[in-house]
Structure 1
Amino acid sequence: MAEPGDRAVGPADAPEPDGERPAAAPARAPGAVVLALLAVGWLAAMLWSTRAAINSAEAGATAVSLSAFALPGVISAALVAGGAVALAVTNLLAWRGMDRVTLRFVAAVGAGLLVGLGAALAINLTYFDNATTNVIAGTTAAAAIVGGAVAGAGNARVAGAAVTAALTALVFVVAFSQARDPLFDLFGAGDTQESMVTAAKWVSRTESLLAGLLAGLMAFGYLAWARRRAARRNETGPAPRWPGYLLAGAGPGLLLLLAEIVIRVGGRSLLELAAALSEADAVAQTSLGTSRIDNGIWVLFVGALTALIAFGRTLGPRPGDDETPKEAATR
């Protein structure tokens, strides 16, 4: 018999059977399909522009030089495209409830492999058959596989933020080329070689700084959107904390440095062939390689710092921090 004041236990208070609890969806990278389409489109644009430049060359030496200059843009685009398509595939697995770590990684690598094979096939079918074609095709395929592996190895939302920010940075760098000439004049480029070198350094640093800022803001915006979307859709997994934002902001720079490794390993023969054309080509290849590394480091640190600061500004005071000393003393 219930005592006075006791509350009757109704059906609503009884524990729900396991099968009746609402199932939460696994964590996924939002917008992965759109991101994959954009990244593949960017890769196609890079392949097309490289083909147009190489096929327009009249001499074999010129084609080799142009191939070496265009290789970094193609490799970076392939790495990002491989990662973006891998995220779309792993999202499909998560939607079907197959979100095991090993399966996710294997599927991501397989997606990167498909992107790489497709790009390599397009290169072999549309480029002139010369000494550089197979090098570009093989290195592009390797970059796409590496991108897929990177996307499948970590948190889906953080990987999505890093890939989105990296694609944004790549597009920005190409768009920034339109502002190079005015900036050269602004930074005092004159008739002397010393003034040209100094102006080129400042233009490169400005480009890297702006690319890092844009990448960091894009990474933060993506993760903030993913957090709100996950809350609405009851997706499982903890929301990324400050290390996740730090890694997402640094992701574009890390991907650029990773692309540089792929370029120097897979495209080594092409770079050496281009450097052997003349002393000026050798100096240009060395200078460009150093500039790409510096750019990746700048984007890494500026992007990470920007994303972390943006995340910090969203944090409110801890409970009790807004109490006045008088209110705390009356407790």
Structure 2
Amino acid sequence: MNATKPARRSSSGVIANIVLLVIAALWLVGSFQALRVLVAGSLRTQPESVANLIMSLSGTIAGAVFGGAAAGYLARSAKVRPFTAMSRHVCALSGGVVVGLVTAGLSFYTFGATPAVATIVAGVAGCAAVIGSLFAAAKNRDIVFAGLVGTLLVFVVMFLRGWFGGLVNSLYHSNPDAYRWIAIAAGLVIGLCVGLCGYLVLRRLQPKTSLYGFLAAGAAPGALWMFSEIATRIAAALLVANTAEPDVLSGLMMDQSLQAQLDGSMAALFAGATTTVLAFGLLAPKADAKAKAAKRGTAVPAQKSKAKKTAPDAKRGGGKKSTA
């Protein structure tokens, strides 16, 4: 009966991997389709509208990073022997390369009328997917899985941001500084949610994980988001340099939007790591704390004192028996 538990867990883990990969694929296809409908057509007639593309590119590149990590996590689950650090990285990178090629194909399909834009988006998003797959090469698989589950909450917020895009744009035009601070506040809330999610998932999968493992699980979603924002800024610089430069107002709005998104990702990284550490200290069962204290040797003096107290009691008991 105990032998079936690892097999049952591995089968459920494979199903969870596939679900994560399907979500990543749907996000990538949907984001590229949205870019094709809303942005790609205007680039042919108005090349200076590249600012609209750049401000909409963050979610697409984030999807590529997440897809590369999810595919790498699924690829590293293969039964490769010997399972060394090199084989982990090779398997994870192979999954990232597949996602990178798919992302490049979607880019050329979306921006086929503007080859320069298609090449830049394909190159940056594809490389981001490959680099994102390295996250899946971590030694502890459960930490990777907890980080990927927490990243799904980031996509929920990105979806809501796109859904209420008109309200976000009106907020920016009315008060750009408030837009930035709202992005930071949203990042802190996201970090709180992903930190709790990472703690709960990792606590369920591997309760004996160290503090640093929980810290990595809570910080991973913010780190992946921040990396995607950095890749978006690289794509923005290449697009502006190789296409028509946007007008002054659009360029200013683009720069502040990119900065606000980067600030939000850094806030999520900090809040996620902090929340997981606090949850580890406040929510961990006392039995685990006692076991770790005993493992460090702090409970040994208490055991010695207890032994000293019980020794006279034993002598007294022996004396009573002898008098009887």
TM bucket (normalised to shorter chain) is 0.7 to 0.9
Alignment of 1:199 with 2:190, yes or no, is no
Deviation at 1:109, TM superposition (A): 0.7
Query: Which SS does the other structure have where 1:277 is aligned?
Result: coil
Alignment CA distance shift 1:203-1:50 (3 Å):
same
Distance, in Å, in 1 between the alignment partners of 2:244 and 2:276 is: 38
Deviation at 1:178, TM superposition (A): 5.2
Alignment of 1:265 with 2:234, yes or no, is yes
Contact 2:150 2:221 in 1 (8 A): yes
Identity within the alignment, %: 22
Alignment CA distance shift 1:307-1:319 (3 Å):
closer
| One-letter amino acid of the counterpart of residue 167, structure 1 | L
Structure 1 length-normalised TM? 0.75
Alignment of 1:76 with 2:74, yes or no, is no
| One-letter amino acid of the counterpart of residue 115, structure 1 | V
Alignment of 1:46 with 2:16, yes or no, is no
Match of 2:221 in 1: 252
Distance, in Å, in 1 between the alignment partners of 2:169 and 2:286 is: 43
Contact 2:184 2:260 in 1 (8 A): no
Alignment CA distance shift 1:244-1:74 (3 Å):
same
Match of 1:86 in 2: 72
Deviation at 1:181, TM superposition (A): 7.7
Deviation at 1:80, TM superposition (A): 0.5
- Greater shift after overlay, 217-226 or 249-258? 217-226
Contact 1:209 1:299 in 2 (8 A): yes
Distance, in Å, in 2 between the alignment partners of 1:126 and 1:181 is: 23
Post-superposition CA distance 1:86-142 (Å, at most 9, x none): 10111123xx65522211101111110111101111221343321311111111111
Post-superposition CA distance 1:56-90 (Å, at most 9, x none): 42733255222212222111110010000110111
Post-superposition CA distance 1:215-236 (Å, at most 9, x none): 11221222123227xxxxxxxx
Distance, in Å, in 2 between the alignment partners of 1:307 and 1:259 is: 22
| One-letter amino acid of the counterpart of residue 118, structure 1 | V
Contact 1:83 1:149 in 2 (8 A): yes
Match of 1:121 in 2: 105
Match of 1:9 in 2: none
Match of 1:316 in 2: 286
1:133-144 mapped onto 2 (5 Å cutoff): 133-144=118-129
| Aligned residue among 264, 276, 288 for 1:307 | 276
Match of 1:159 in 2: 144
Which ranges of structure 2 fall in alignment gaps of 5 or more residues? 294-298, 311-324
Structure 2 length-normalised TM? 0.77
Distance, in Å, in 2 between the alignment partners of 1:108 and 1:218 is: 24
Match of 2:191 in 1: 212
Contact 2:183 2:261 in 1 (8 A): no
Deviation at 1:171, TM superposition (A): 2.0
Match of 2:47 in 1: 61
| One-letter amino acid of the counterpart of residue 179, structure 2 | A
Question: Which structure has the highest helix share of the two?
Answer: 2
Contact 1:180 1:203 in 2 (8 A): no
| Aligned residue among 82, 85, 93 for 1:109 | 93
Alignment CA distance shift 1:121-1:178 (3 Å):
closer
- Greater shift after overlay, 25-34 or 273-282? 25-34
| Number of equivalences | 289
What is the Cα-based RMSD across aligned positions, in Å? 3.4
Match of 1:283 in 2: 252
